[in-house]
Amino acid sequence: MIGMKQRRLKALLTHDINLLAYHLPLDVHPEVGNNVQLGQRLGLTVSGPLEPDNPRNVGLIGELAVPLSADAFALRIEQALGRAPLVIDHQQPIKRVAWCTGGAQGYIEQAIAAGVDAYITGEVSERTFHEAQENGISFFAAGHHATERYGVQALGEWLAVRFGIEHHYVECPNPV
């Protein structure tokens, strides 16, 4: 092994550090998962899965207590995540929201089929812009890292309480 991977593994082994990586299970966990945690931070009440017939569903659908404009919802996202999202505003009030953290811009199709007012994820693509505009849905790209950092924090807190261990979350600045 050479390069970046070697340097990373050498640092872990030299300092006797364990590294656990359970990305997809953390996305879908019903208590500490990335999607549940993002919903909580945005004040969304979960009403169900984004894909009810898919046993491997990762996204969620929920509702805001009070409808918001896209600008007001973007401000809420910015305050919760510490960064302004990219916004495609359909100019309609937002009440029902679908979301899937990380690089899930492709799930906008499921959000459109679910009839929600808005879809939130971490990343955006050219196709996403056109799908949102042509299908009458507001879209928010809030950053891959920004949408997925709260699950691991919640998991660390859960493990600390459950097993009496010490944990430290280390924030690594990441603009994507």
pLDDT at residue 141 greater than cutoff 80: yes
What confidence tier does 64 reach under pLDDT thresholds 50, 70, 90?
Answer: very high
pLDDT at residue 21 greater than cutoff 80: no
pTM of the full structure:
0.90
Torsion angle, alpha carbons of 96, 102, 104, 108, to 10: 20
Q: 84: which DSSP letter? A: P
Give the pair of three-digit tokens for residue 95.
């009440």
pLDDT at residue 22 greater than cutoff 90: no
Domains of the chain: 24-163 (3.40.1390.30)
Q: What is the mean pLDDT of the chain?
A: 94
Instruction: Report, as an integer, the average pLDDT of 102-124.
Output: 97
Instruction: Report, as an integer, the average pLDDT of 70-78.
Output: 98
